[in-house]
Structure 1
Amino acid sequence: MHRSVVFAALSLLVSSVAGLPIQRRTDNATDNSANLLVLKFANVLEQLETEFYSQALQKFQTSDFTAAGFSDASVPIQQFTNIQSDESTHTTVLESTIQSLGDSAITGCSFDFSSVLTDVATMAPVARLVENVGVGAYLGAAHLVTDPIILTDAASIVTVEARHQTILNVLNGGTAIPAAFDLPLLPQEVLAIAGPFISGCSVGIDALPSLTVTNTDTIAAGTTLSFNFDAQSSISDTSTLSCQMLAGGMPFSLTLPFDACVVPSGLQGPVAIYVTNDTQPLANNPRDRFTGNIVAGPTMAFLDGTPETLSNLAKSGSAVSGGDVSGSATDTASTEISTSTISPEEASSILASASATATASDSSATGTAEDANSIPSSANTTTGPSSDGAINVDGWTFVPNPASSSSA
Structure 2
Amino acid sequence: MLFASALLSIPLLASSVAGVPIKRQSSNSTATASNSTGSADLLVLKFANVLEQLETQFYTEALQKFQTSDFTAAGFADANVPIQQFTNIMNDESTHTTVLAAAIQSLGDQPISGCTFDFSSVLTSVSAMAPVARLVENVGVGAYLGAAHLLDDPVLLTAAGSILTVEARHQTILNVLNGGTAIPQAFDIPLDPQEVLAIAGSFISGCDTGITGLPPLTVTTTGSIQAGTSLSFSFDALSSISDTSTLSCQMLAGGMPASLSLPFDQCVVPTGLTGPVAIYVTNNTQPLVNNPRDKFLGNIVAGPTMAFIDNDPEDISSLAITGQVGNSVSNSTGSSSSDSSSTSADSSTSTATISPASASSVAAAAGATSTDSGSLSNNVGGVPPTANTETGTSPDGAISVSGWTTIPAPTSS
Instruction: Tell me whether the two structures share a fold, i.e. TM-score over 0.5.
Output: yes
How far apart, CA to CA, are the structure 2 residues paired with 1:328 and 1:264?
22
- Residue identity opposite 1:267 in structure 2: L
2:47 is matched by which residue type in structure 1?
F
Superposed displacement of residue 28, structure 1 = 8.6
| CA shift digits 1:156-198 (9 cap, x unpaired) | 0000000000000000000000000000000000000000000
Tell me the alpha carbon deviations over residues 185-217 of structure 1, each in whole angstroms, 9 at most, x when there is no partner. Answer: 000000000000000000000010000011222
- Once the 2 structures are TM-superposed, how far is the Cα of residue 99 of structure 1 from its aligned partner? 1.1
- State the one-letter code of the partner of 2:278: A
The match for 1:313 among 315, 319, 331 is 319
Distance in 1, Cα, partners of 2:218 & 2:94:
29
Amino acid of the structure 2 residue aligned with 1:178: P
Partner Cα distance (1:260, 1:205) in 2: 32
Q: Within the alignment, does 1:63 sit opposite 2:69 as a pair?
A: yes
Q: Write the mapping of 1:318-397 to structure 2, written as runs, cut at 5 A.
A: 327=346
Q: Distance in 2 between matches of 1:315 and 1:192?
A: 31
Contact 1:23 1:97 in 2 (8 A): no
Return the letter of the residue paired with 1:281: P
Q: Is 1:238 aligned with 2:244?
A: yes
The structure that has the greater radius of gyration is 1
Deviation at 1:239, TM superposition (A): 0.4
Instruction: Name structure 1 gaps, 5 residues minimum.
Output: 1-10, 319-325, 330-408
Matches within 5 A, 1:109-128: 109-128=115-134
Partner residue of 1:151? 157
Cα distance change, pair 221–22 in 1 and its aligned pair in 2 (3 A) = farther
Q: Residues of 1 paired with 2:226 and 2:320: CA distance?
A: 22
AA aligned to 2:40 is A
CA shift for structure 1 position 17: 5.0
Q: CA deviation at 1:314?
A: 1.0
Relative to structure 1, the CA distance from residue 94 to residue 308 in structure 2 (aligned partners, 3 Å threshold; closer, same or farther) is same
Is residue 31 of structure 2 the alignment partner of residue 37 of structure 1?
no
CA offset digits 1:239-288 (Å, max 9, x no partner)? 00000001110010110000000011111110000000001111101000
CA contact (8 A) 1:184 1:286 kept: yes
Equivalent residue for 1:218, pick from 224, 230, 252: 224
| 1:12-64, Cα deviation, whole Å (9 max, x unpaired) | 9x9475268664796497x5101000000000000000000000001100111
- Is the contact made by 2:10 and 2:99 (CA closer than 8 Å) also made in structure 1? no
- Partner residue of 1:175 out of 161, 175, 181: 181
Query: Distance between the aligned counterparts of 1:17 and 1:47, measured in 2?
Result: 19
Instruction: Measure the CA separation in 1 of the matches of 2:225 and 2:35.
Output: 47
How many residue pairs align between the two structures? 310
Instruction: Give distance in 1, aligned partners of 2:13 and 2:126.
Output: 33
Q: Partners in 2 of 1:328 and 1:283 — Cα distance?
A: 36
The equivalent of 2:193 in structure 1 is 187
Which segments of 5 or more consecutive residues in structure 2 lack a partner in the other structure? 15-20, 25-31, 325-344, 349-413
Q: Deviations over 1:126-176 (max 9, x none)?
A: 000000010000000000001111111100000000000000000000000
Distance 1:116 1:26, change over 3 A: farther
Partner of 2:278: 272
Structure (1/2) with the larger helix percentage: 1
Question: Structure 1 residues 279, 50: CA separation in 2 closer, same or farther (over 3 Å shift)?
Answer: same
Is the aligned partner of 1:95 residue 2:97? no
Please say if residues 26 and 32 of structure 1, whose CA atoms lie closer than 8 Å, have aligned partners that are also in contact. no
User: 3-state DSSP class of the match of 1:230?
Assistant: coil
CA–CA separation in structure 2 for the residues paired with 1:256 and 1:52 = 35
RMSD: 2.2
Aligned residue type for 2:266? A
* Partners of 2:65 and 2:291 in 1: CA distance: 39
Amino acid across the alignment from 1:18: L
Q: How far is 1:102 from its partner?
A: 1.6
Aligned match for 1:160, one of 166, 176, 180: 166
Q: Could you tell me how far apart the structure 1 residues matched to 2:54 and 2:76 are?
A: 25
Change (3 A) 1:179 1:19: farther
Which of 248, 254, 261 in structure 1 is aligned with 2:254? Answer: 248
Distance, in Å, in 1 between the alignment partners of 2:306 and 2:289 is 17
Contact 1:210 1:296 in 2 (8 A): yes
Equivalent AA in structure 1 for residue 134 of structure 2: R
1:202 and 1:175 map into 2 onto residues whose CA distance is: 36
SS of aligned partner of 2:306: strand
Contact 1:23 1:101 in 2 (8 A): no
Q: TM-score, normalised by structure 2?
A: 0.72
Structure 1 residues 67-102: Cα deviation after superposition (integer angstroms, max 9, x where no partner): 101111111001000000000000001001111122
Between the two structures, name the one with larger relative contact order (CA 8 Å, sep ≥ 6). Answer: 2
The answer as to 2:71 corresponding to 1:77 is: no
**Alpha-carbon distance change, 96 to 242 in structure 1, aligned in 2, over 3 angstroms:** same
SS at match of 1:37: helix
Is the counterpart of residue 18 in structure 1 residue 12 in structure 2? yes
Q: Please give the alpha-carbon distance, in whole angstroms, between the structure 2 residues aligned to 1:288 and 1:67.
A: 46
Tell which deviates more after alignment, 185-194 or 97-106: 97-106
For the Cα contact (< 8 Å) 2:54–2:117, is it kept in 1?
yes
Return the offset for 1:223: 1.0
Q: Report the 3-state secondary structure (helix = DSSP H, G, I; strand = E; otherwise coil) of the residue aligned with 1:75.
A: helix
Look up the SS of the partner of 2:38 in the other structure: helix
Q: Distance in 2 between matches of 1:117 and 1:23?
A: 42
